Amino acid sequence: MKALTDSTAAKPTAARDGTIYQVAQRAGVSIATVSRALRGTVAVAPSTRERVLKAVDELAYTPSRSARSLAEGRNAANGIVFPDLSGPYFAEVVLGYEEVAADHNRGVLILSTHGREAAGEMVLDLATRVDGLVVMGRTVGDGVLRELADKGLPLVLLAREPIAGADSLCTENEASAYALTRHLLDHGYDSFEFLGDADASPDTAGRWRGFVHALGDAEVDVPAEPVRCAFGEVAGRAAADVLLRDHPPRALVCANDEIALGATAAAEDLGLRIPDDLAVTGWDDVMAAQHSRPGLTTVRQPMRELGARAARRLHERLAGETSEPRHEVLPTQLVQRASCGHHLKEDWDR
């Protein structure tokens, strides 16, 4: 019978689960109409739209993301790459980023490299799933970034040296280090050390430069090198322990709060009082900086805003903005507490 033949072989495009074809069939329209009714891109007769929406509802239809991406040629998603999420620093950045991206209806893919060998390939893979990418710090080599930039992928670099063809954002490092060191000088200290690895992080490198610069301007002895130290409390404590036994300075500028807190512990172990015997400072203003005794003098950075701004910049690029790459530096704030020396109103921050 003809009908049988038809129903068996006629529909070459009949699809399986909840596809646009099923909706079309149920609503008695073509798939084109379903598509139009759903995205409201072109006028559809109200009665038709009604039927379509009803069918959509009854079938609990959800368009296929990959099919749509393929047809549209875009992923409707952004990515963000960071080394780690353990400190509060990156979490805040990611959060600010996610919030803005989500407001623009874009998915957010994260990739934490934590020093993996394959970081480069992972980033390359990530790049295939997104329309734009934010890359933090020294997570991947410049080669990978250049490759992506050359492919035309919108790129925003965070807290790292700019590369050609990509926007970049960072916070004041050299300036904040200068101000912080200047503050310590004003306290009257005359012997300094810097704890952190300037080779491992562009941020740290900038802080070291500002530190050196300030001491130089004040004609105070400048250490030849920063005391190498990974980020983290344990590393800070260990490095400080060696340093403080050997030739303790009067003031210790640490590349971030965790190092500083570790150094504080090491100092206490050695019976040194802070700030009387040793001044200690950090960066980031983590929660513990406020709660430790004495309170840790540090530099607050607008981390959330950093992430949010990166998302906005990316969105502009994705929206077609084609201006020259911009390189923005966000202001920071010196947070004075007691660890850098006695102030008139001690520990005023709390």
Rule CB under 7 A: which residues touch DNA? 12-21, 28-33, 35-36, 38-39, 41-45, 47-49, 61-64, 67-68, 70-73
CB of 339 to DNA, least distance (A): 56
The site partner of 36 among DNA, a copy of itself, none (C-beta below 5 to 8 Å per kind) is DNA
Query: In the complex with DNA, which residue's Cβ is closer, 49 or 237?
Result: 49
60 makes contact with a copy of itself (CB under 8 A): yes
Nearest to 93 by CA among 170, 200, 165: 170
Query: Is the backbone peptide bond immediately before 275 cis, with ω within 30 degrees of 0?
Result: yes
Q: Which does 251 bind (CB under 5 to 8 A by kind): a copy of itself, DNA, none?
A: none
112 near a copy of itself, rule: CB under 8 A: yes
Residue-by-residue DSSP string for 143-194: HHHHHHHHTT--EEEESS---TT-EEEEE-SHHHHHHHHHHHHHTT---EEE
- Measured from the CB atom, is 39 or 151 closer to DNA? 39
Q: Distance between CA 139 and CA 155 in Å, rounded?
A: 14
Q: Are 273 and 299 spatial neighbours (Cβ–Cβ below 8 Å)?
A: no
Q: In this structure, what token pair is assigned to residue 132? A: 């734009």
CB nearer to DNA: pick between 147 and 328: 147
Write down the residue that tokens 């900086």 correspond to.
289
| Least spacing, CB of residue 285 vs a copy of itself, in Å | 12
Tell me the backbone φ, ψ of residue 279, rounded to 5 degrees.
-95, 140
Least spacing, CB of residue 226 vs a copy of itself, in Å = 24
> Which own/partner pairs from 270-276 qualify as long-range (CB within 8 Å, at least 24 positions apart)?
270/241, 270/244, 270/245, 272/244, 272/248, 274/338, 274/339, 275/338, 275/339, 275/340, 275/341, 275/342
Q: Which among 110-118, 185-193, 200-208, 333-341 is the span making contact with a copy of itself, rule CB under 8 A?
A: 110-118
Query: Of how many residues is the chain composed?
Result: 350
Rule CB under 8 A: say whether 151 interacts with a copy of itself: yes
**What spatial distance separates the first Cα and last Cα of the chain, rounded to whole Å?**
87
Least distance from DNA to the Cβ atom of residue 155, Å: 21
**Rounded to whole angstroms, how far apart are CA atoms 83 and 115?**
7
Smallest separation (angstroms) from a copy of itself to the CB of 18: 9
Residue 42 vs 102, nearer CB to DNA: 42
Least distance between a copy of itself and beta carbon 257 (Å): 9
Query: What residue has token string 């980033």?
Result: 123
Q: Measured on CA atoms in the order 139, 142, 144, 150, is the torsion positive or negative?
A: positive
Q: Does 131 bind a copy of itself (CB under 8 A)?
A: no
Q: Does 94 bind a copy of itself (CB under 8 A)?
A: yes
Task: Tell me how far, at minimum, the Cβ of 335 lies from a copy of itself, in Å.
Answer: 15
Report the nearest approach of a copy of itself to the CB of residue 66 (Å).
Answer: 4
The CA–CA distances, whole Å, from 217 to 206, 212, 252 equal: 16, 9, 18
39 binds a copy of itself (CB under 8 A): no
| 90 versus 208: smaller Cβ distance to a copy of itself | 90
257: Cα within 13 Å, side-chain hemisphere: 23
Rounded to the nearest whole angstrom, what is the least distance from the CB of residue 320 to DNA in the complex? 15
Q: Does 85 engage in binding with a copy of itself (CB under 8 A)?
A: yes
Name residues contacting a copy of itself, limited to 242-271 (CB under 8 A): 258, 261, 265
Which of residues 75 and 301 has its CB atom nearest to a copy of itself in the complex? 75
Binding residues for a copy of itself, per CB under 8 A? Answer: 60, 62-67, 69-70, 75, 77, 84-86, 88, 90-92, 94-95, 98-99, 102, 105, 107-112, 114, 122, 124-126, 128-129, 147, 151, 233, 258, 261, 265, 286-288, 290-293, 350
